[in-house]
Amino acid sequence: MHVQQHTLTRQSVLYSEKIAEDVFILGFQKNFDFEPGQVVGISVEENGPRRLYSICSGKEEDHIAILYNVVDEGYLTPRLSSLFAGDSIWVTEPRGDFLYDPGPSFWIASGTGIAPFYSMLKSGNFDRKILLHGERHLEKFYFYDEFYDTLGHNYIRCCSGEEDPAVFHGRVTGYLRSLPSLPLHYKYYLCGRAEMVVETRDILIERDIPFNHIISEIYF
Ligand SMILES: Cc1cc2nc3c(=O)[nH]c(=O)nc-3n(C[C@H](O)[C@H](O)[C@H](O)COP(=O)(O)OP(=O)(O)OC[C@H]3O[C@@H](n4cnc5c(N)ncnc54)[C@H](O)[C@@H]3O)c2cc1C
């Protein structure tokens, strides 16, 4: 989504780290409070094109981070990936209603869609959560140690492109289909690419999960 009508403030980049092929974490100054799960609009020029990114840092941390894929033919992400500490970016206030729910929930992410769940985890909000993370390559299970230390066997990695005995071989949708039943009283939070979100939603509806228990954030 290309954001058009929000006030931006200039912030200094604190760090830019490449954490996997074409995947970066960008940290910048914090001048607002936010709720884990919210997004910010970012631009590299004061009046330039903006894109939305989930906040990927904890509520109490002293900076804001985002996690993004470089889209080679894209406008913003190649520019973001060439930033260094001290460079400026323009950032909107946080917004969005993909927010933490204290009840039992499945968190289902593909790719960088893990970001809002990492923000929730880093903010101390992870009680009664089961996390499914889908990636094509094993190296892209960013934050593995932290999720595993906190969620243990409730952190399930689904890798479609490579095999590993500790990882489900296939997509998150394949994992969900392999379960004999899904708890009806759980909430289902879906975040990432449209194909994953739509296919997962269809599985949940087939399994009689109430509509108001399906909450999604599509990265388009
Ligand atoms: C609510 C919301 C939250 C988001 N949060 C994140 C986030 O946390 N991390 C993140 O990485 N992205 C996130 N996105 C996507 C992000 O806003 C941009 O769309 C993305 O980073 C591409 O921006 P760009 O300017 O580089 O490419 P654009 O100039 O927007 O796109 C260029 C071309 O690439 C295509 N394209 C766009 N995205 C992809 C892609 N992922 N893979 C392949 N082709 C693509 C477009 O269709 C277009 O043809 C989010 C989107 C939304 C709506």
Q: Whose CA is nearest to atom 46 of ligand 1?
A: 74
pLDDT at 7 (0 to 100): 83
Average of per-residue pLDDT values in the chain: 96
What confidence category does residue 2 fall into, taking pLDDT thresholds of 50, 70 and 90? Answer: low
Q: Whose CA is nearest to atom 42 of ligand 1?
A: 71
Which CATH code, of 3.60.130.10, 1.10.357.10, 3.30.565.10, 2.40.30.10, is assigned to 8-92? 2.40.30.10
Does residue 115's CB lie within 6 angstroms of at least one atom of ligand 1?
Answer: yes
Q: Whose CA is nearest to atom 32 of ligand 1?
A: 74
Q: Which of 42, 53, 196 to mutate to test the pocket of ligand 1 (most atoms within 8 A of CB)?
A: 53
Does residue 72's CB lie within 6 angstroms of at least one atom of ligand 1?
Answer: no
Q: Is the per-residue pLDDT at 4 higher than 60?
A: no
pLDDT at 3 (0 to 100): 47
Q: Is the per-residue pLDDT at 121 higher than 80?
A: yes
pLDDT at 1 (0 to 100): 52
CA of 71 to the centre of ligand 1 (A): 7
Over range 8-34, report the average pLDDT: 96
What are the residue boundaries of the structural domains of the chain, listed by start? 8-92, 105-219
Q: By percentage, how much of the chain surpasses pLDDT 70?
A: 97
Over range 34-50, report the average pLDDT: 96
The model's pLDDT over 180-196, given as tens digits with 9 standing for 90+, comes to: 999 999 999 999 999 99
The model's pLDDT over 146-169, given as tens digits with 9 standing for 90+, comes to: 999 999 999 999 999 999 999 999
Does residue 118's CB lie within 6 angstroms of at least one atom of ligand 1?
Answer: no
Report which ligand 1 atom has the smallest distance to the Cα of 70. Answer: 26
- Compute the distance between CA of residue 34 and CA of residue 53 in angstroms, rounded to an integer: 13
CATH topology of domain 105-219: Rossmann fold (3.40.50)
Q: By percentage, how much of the chain surpasses pLDDT 90?
A: 95
Report which ligand 1 atom has the smallest distance to the Cα of 116. Answer: 8
